[in-house]
Amino acid sequence: MSRQRDATLMATSQLSKAYGDLVALQPVDLAVTAGQRVALIGRNGSGKSTLLKMAAGLLEPSSGTVTVGGYPSGSIEARTALSYLPDEPVLYDDLSVIEHVEYTCRLHASVGWEERAVRLLEKLGLLERAESLPSTFSRGLRQKTGTLLALVRPYSLLLVDEPFVGLDPSGRDTFVELTEEAAQGGAAVVVATHQLDYAMRADRCIALRDGVRVYDGPPGDVDLAALVD
């Protein structure tokens, strides 16, 4: 995950999305660089998830472009560089936690993944559940499993949509710690969240309102609560 600190890992140019007359995201230009922790905030329907899905290549823009590591979103190169954790983790009913890990790591040609997997299982409190089926888990445990799969594979850009739903305070602290480690290792980390305490710990805060970027800067320079009212 090590990258030159000023390397741009995600960039948009006049990126927008509309559904008929409903504009989910107004044209926006932004760049996220290696090692940067970005909190994406805004009320429900502000365009946060839309932006992340277009960056992840899961949603076609209405206009403009988005690149990951210089490659068009959705391309093989972009998907290789990007790890995306949606608000509802995508898990298979018939695979155990460790089978999910092995499948994910082999899919992304991860080298030496076993040691990293054990460490993440321990950090997330999943080691004793490694042979269990996530389909039997609570919402919080499913979220931890999704976090495990997002972090265990190689990536240079991590996109996360509402990661704190269902997590207890310990789980939230672990998530913050692990994403800080990812940024220290050179990855760019973009987290869409309603948790303003997390946003205050980020390097940069981007606020959306009705599809419009209304703030982009250090979280300590603005009243974050006012931005999500």
Question: Given this model, what pLDDT does residue 5 score?
Answer: 60
Task: Report the Cα 192 to chain-centroid distance in Å.
Answer: 7
Domains and CATH numbers, the chain: 8-88+156-228 (3.40.50.300)
pLDDT reported for residue 4: 58
The model's pTM: 0.94
Give me the residues paired with residue 217 across strands: 205
Averages of pLDDT over runs of 10 residues in the chain (229 residues) are 72 97 96 97 95 97 97 96 94 96 93 94 97 95 97 97 93 95 97 95 96 96 90
- Using alpha carbons only, how large is the chain's radius of gyration in Å? 17
**What does the pLDDT read at residue 111?**
87
| Helices and strands: H and E segment counts in the chain | 8, 10
**What integer pLDDT is reported at residue 229 of this predicted model?**
78
Return the pLDDT at 70.
95
Cα 178 to Cα 197: distance, rounded to the nearest angstrom: 16
